[in-house]
Amino acid sequence: MANGPGIVVTGASGRMGQMLIETIVASDAYHLVGALERDGHDWVGQDVGIAMGGQPMGVTVTSDALETFRKANAVIDFTAPAATVAFSKIAAQAGVVHVIGTTGMTDDDLKAVNVSAQDTVIVRAGNMSLGVNLLVQLTKKVAAALDEDFDIEVIEAHHHHKVDAPSGTALMLGEAAAEGRGVLLSDVKDSGRDGITGARKRGDIGFTAIRGGDIVGEHDVLFAAAGERIVLRHMATDRKVFARGALKAALWGQGKAAGEYDMLDVLGL
């Protein structure tokens, strides 16, 4: 492979799209073979480096997913649920590794992605950073060690552009806590409290979402009991941590059997 795997970035103009492109071109381990935006977007037809306000990169932004995916070893996709479901079908058709960072997916979206994973390698995680994936494992361990005298609350904070809540990371942490306790998150999830909610139900896992300014992504898992509290915390201060994780996943996925994987598989955690 010349200069490592060839990568296509979807949602090229987005916050993560631009961060991924910057990270790829700064590295010898990967090379950028495509940048995708939707039909009618004003970046389509422009050199992606120029569109980003810098030097030309020799890659023209396109809206033709299939043609672009066929030239690549991996597609990195941080867009929106409907786009990601469509891209997973095209990635399966092109036989290219699909790394999905998109959050806010419904159960039906996830089922569709799972069908695509019968034909290609999909790595999907609500958070691609090493730190959060380690926190997932810690959360599972702490939840398994404590009984329901400890109320579990997941508190997350993000920038004011974020459209989904709870965040994908908060849901990963909630799932990990539920697994540690040996329960299903769907049976104990309590999010969006407002009004006369009644007292907290023993065993529930609560979620709170803060939105403001340019917060990159912060997550606390709180274990609160009478007389003591434990807080597990991750703070992302730079989107590079997500881009690096996604690129690691793109490399890891090369030559793997078709199927759906996550960052715990990639990082061996």
Ligand X SMILES: O=C(O)C1=N[C@H](C(=O)O)C[C@H](O)C1
Can residue 208 be called a binding residue for ligand X (CB under 6 A)?
A: no
- Between CA 267 and CA 269 the distance in angstroms is 5
Can residue 70 be called a binding residue for ligand NDP (CB under 6 A)?
A: no
Can residue 62 be called a binding residue for ligand X (CB under 6 A)?
A: no
- Between CA 12 and CA 116 the distance in angstroms is 22
Report the site for ligand NDP in 132-191 (rule: CB under 6 A): 168
Q: Which of 69, 167, 221, 243 binds ligand X (CB under 6 A)?
A: 167
Can residue 49 be called a binding residue for ligand NDP (CB under 6 A)?
A: no
Q: Which among ligand NDP, ligand X, none contacts residue 203 (Cβ within 5 to 8 A by kind)? A: none
Name the active-site residue from 162, 189, 240, 256.
Answer: 162
Q: Which of 50, 57, 83, 209 binds ligand NDP (CB under 6 A)?
A: 83
* 162 counts as catalytic: yes
Q: Which among ligand NDP, ligand X, none contacts residue 73 (Cβ within 5 to 8 A by kind)? A: none
Q: Which of 242, 248, 250, 252 binds ligand NDP (CB under 6 A)?
A: 242
Q: Which of 18, 73, 88, 127 binds ligand X (CB under 6 A)?
A: 127
- Between CA 28 and CA 264 the distance in angstroms is 25
Which residues are at the interface with ligand X (CB under 6 A)?
103, 126-127, 158, 162, 167-169, 217
Residues that bind ligand NDP (CB under 6 A): 11, 13-17, 38, 41, 78-80, 82-83, 101-104, 125-128, 168, 242
